[in-house]
Structure 1
Amino acid sequence: MKRIWILIALIGTLGMTAWTLLNNKKQVEDKIYKPNPDQKVGVRTAVAELRSLSQANEFLGSFAANRQVEIRPQAGGQIIQLPVEEGQSVGTGRLIAKLDDEQLRYQIEALQVTLEGYQNDLKRYENLVKGDATPAVNLERTQLSIRSTQAQIKQIQKQIANTTITAPFGGIVTEKMVEKGSVVSVGSPIIKITDISSLKLVVDVPEKAINQFRVGQSLSVSTEVYPAARFAGRVTMIGAEGDAAHNYPVEITVNNSGKNQLRAGMYGSIANTSKLSGQTLSVPRQAIIGSEKQPQIYVVENGKSVLKSVKIGATTNEYYEITNGLKAGDQVVTSGQINLQNGTAVNAQ
């Protein structure tokens, strides 16, 4: 009998618990917001239509020197002249440094004395050979000795010429690594010369825009240093290989002979505008949602929002070209997409 009462009490407890849970669920559902299917969401729209689009792209880069070289002597020795300073302008052929060549000149003198002796011997042997007083081999040996000595003299003369170091082109001395009296070895840098008579603006251009450039193309270059000035540039190189981000280097050469002097390392930018051929179907940029690989647009049809996948082409600062998924005259949502779902009733403005 006791067991029966326990079973009845357990069944009653379970029933009470189930009733309480069902009652709580109903109260929670009553508190959950349920959108009114008849209530319209206010959105802003625009019409997809044919437009003549122009692509305006701006690319930022930095100026590099036209030419820059470290002067490295082809001879070694002590510097006895160094008539340049950092920041000084030098012209082509200007004396940069002079190395001590005294020992080399002494060697030249000694070889010239030796050469003179061989030449005197040659005259004597020529007369003796005519009278069969000496073998002809002595004459031949003397002739070879003369040629060998002359070659040695030329070699040392070349070494002496290498002790005079001149500027290979005009520019500015941007670095001086030695001082007068320093002893330098062959190939050690002594002076750096930078030519900024023209500069190279190097910009990285994305893959999708690289076809907008061609070698020889004229472009206008602007800088932060001279915001009111415009510099005439010309495309001189387009990279044949891009980096990991699919950007290609484009080099624009700018003449730097005007009153607004640019310097290597400064920032510069170019704005390249290209017109798309004919009229293209386009929508405002604000209409596109989703990712660049899977763009989507809400279109208003019969008072409701319809989510459509589209394909985009060229872009400008204001519009996207639509190559597939829309037709001219479609009403696209440009504001308020966050409150929409496929089929939501809308109040278009």
Structure 2
Amino acid sequence: MKKRTLIVVIVAMFAVIGIVLANNKKELDAKKVVVDRSKIPVSVAVAKVTMQTLDGNLRLPATLEPAKTADISATTGGKIVSLRIQLGSHVSMGQVIGSVDTRQQQLGENDAQEALRKAEKDYQLSKELYEGNAGTAQGVKDAQHALDAARIRVQQSGQKVGDGAIKSPISGIITTKNGEVGEYANPGATLATVVDVYSLKAVVFVSEKDVYQLKIGRPAAIAADVLPGKTFNGKVSFISPVGDENHNYRVELTVDNKAAELKAGTYTQVNFDLGSSTNALQMPKIALVEGTKNPYVYVVNGEQVIMKKITVGREVGENIEVLNGLNEGEEIVTSGQINLTNGSRITRTR
């Protein structure tokens, strides 16, 4: 009797456990159900695409780069015996800023000079013997060849000695220094870097629509926020014949920086005067979901939005020119884009 009662109790316990586990599974499965939020409106701010005046000035952000950068190296190998530069030193083109040990080359030059003097005497002697009928024309000819060869050897050995001088290939400021006195310099190894800070170049990327209005030599005004009230003269020196994937073209301008007021790497603004003002379709820049690299916006269509790829032009303050993809009067989302996908429902903020 007791045994039967125990069995009934155990079965009842397993039944209760099974019911509890089943109820827990139902609760977990209910939590796993994905809530469909596609019908929940996203709160957004919108603005209209409008036709506005676009003046004749093309303003573009630019960065300054050195017009010339060069490495200073030794032409011939040897131990560095002098190097008269430090970081920040001003150097001129062709200036001797150091030297390597050329004593071995100087010995070679002395030997070549001695050989030349002997060749000159031999030639003179052969010539006198020939004129006195004691020598031959071939002897004079051989002596002449020996004299010519000796002159070439003197020239070459003198060049090797001269190559011991370490010279700056351009004018500018020393920005790196790798060599020190006492070290061995391999031919062509970089001992220092010199940057021409007096002639900078401003690099801008110009849209396809505007680049055809630029020509080599066209002037531009360049300004930097760090130097308020000052402008610098620039001139177009290069227009890339190939655009990037966004149809923007690299344009370089030489910048007059004789006083070295500007530094390479400074953020600047380039202003091209393209003539009379025109009307252009514009929209707020903040409507661009991923910026100008991948320009697209969300256009309001009733209570939903449609994602549209567009083509943009110049930036005008807080606005940007629309070249293709939108029409005047269309409404676009300017806030809340992060929560949107194509076809999302929206509600406008008040």
TM-score, reference length from structure 2: 0.64
- In the alignment, what sits opposite 1:175? 176
- In the alignment, what sits opposite 1:265? 265
| CA-atom RMSD in angstroms | 4.1
Q: How far did residue 213 of structure 1 move?
A: 2.8
CA distance in 1, matches of 2:82, 2:213: 52
Q: Residue deviations 1:79-122, cap 9 Å, x none?
A: 11111111111123321221222222212222222222222222
CA distance in 2, matches of 1:156, 1:312: 65
1:230-309 mapped onto 2 (5 Å cutoff): 230-258=231-259, 261-272=261-272, 274=274, 285=283
Mark the CA change 1:313 to 1:255 in structure 2 (over 3 Å): closer, same or farther: closer
CA distance in 2, matches of 1:326, 1:266: 38
Q: How far did residue 140 of structure 1 move?
A: 1.9
Which amino acid is 2:151 matched to? Q
Segments of structure 2 that go 5 or more residues without pairing to the other structure are 1-45, 290-294, 302-309, 334-350
Greater mean alpha carbon deviation, residues 90-99 or residues 225-234:
225-234
1:327-346 mapped onto 2 (5 Å cutoff): none
Which amino acid is 1:270 matched to? V
CA contact (8 A) 2:82 2:99 kept: yes
> Helix, strand or coil for the counterpart of 1:193?
strand
Q: How far did residue 295 of structure 1 move?
A: 11
- In the alignment, what sits opposite 1:144? 145
Q: How far did residue 335 of structure 1 move?
A: 9.6
CA distance in 1, matches of 2:180, 2:323: 67
- In the alignment, what sits opposite 2:120? 119
Mark the CA change 1:123 to 1:295 in structure 2 (over 3 Å): closer, same or farther: same
Mark the CA change 1:110 to 1:57 in structure 2 (over 3 Å): closer, same or farther: closer
Q: How far did residue 182 of structure 1 move?
A: 1.6
Q: How far did residue 237 of structure 1 move?
A: 1.6
Q: Residue deviations 1:180-238, cap 9 Å, x none?
A: 12211211111211011121110122223323433222222222322443323222221
Mark the CA change 1:52 to 1:63 in structure 2 (over 3 Å): closer, same or farther: closer
CA distance in 2, matches of 1:128, 1:326: 102
Which amino acid is 1:128 matched to? L
CA distance in 2, matches of 1:191, 1:225: 29
Matched, 1:81 2:56: no
Work out the percentage of aligned pairs sharing the same amino acid.
23
Which amino acid is 1:145 matched to? A
Q: Residue deviations 1:295-337, cap 9 Å, x none?
A: 9899xxxxxxxxxxxx9998766697899x999xxxx58799x
CA contact (8 A) 2:201 2:253 kept: yes
- In the alignment, what sits opposite 1:210? 211
CA distance in 2, matches of 1:219, 1:137: 72
Q: How many residues align?
A: 275
Mark the CA change 1:138 to 1:182 in structure 2 (over 3 Å): closer, same or farther: same
CA contact (8 A) 1:53 1:275 kept: no
CA contact (8 A) 2:98 2:166 kept: yes
CA contact (8 A) 1:70 1:190 kept: yes
The structure with more radius of gyration: 1
Mark the CA change 1:74 to 1:236 in structure 2 (over 3 Å): closer, same or farther: same
Which amino acid is 1:234 matched to? K
TM-score, reference length from structure 1: 0.64
CA contact (8 A) 1:222 1:230 kept: yes
Mark the CA change 1:312 to 1:92 in structure 2 (over 3 Å): closer, same or farther: closer
CA distance in 2, matches of 1:153, 1:194: 36
CA contact (8 A) 1:200 1:254 kept: yes
- In the alignment, what sits opposite 2:337? none
Q: How far did residue 45 of structure 1 move?
A: 11
Q: How far did residue 270 of structure 1 move?
A: 2.2
- In the alignment, what sits opposite 1:60? 61
Q: Residue deviations 1:53-92, cap 9 Å, x none?
A: 4265542221101211001222111211111111111123
CA contact (8 A) 2:204 2:252 kept: yes
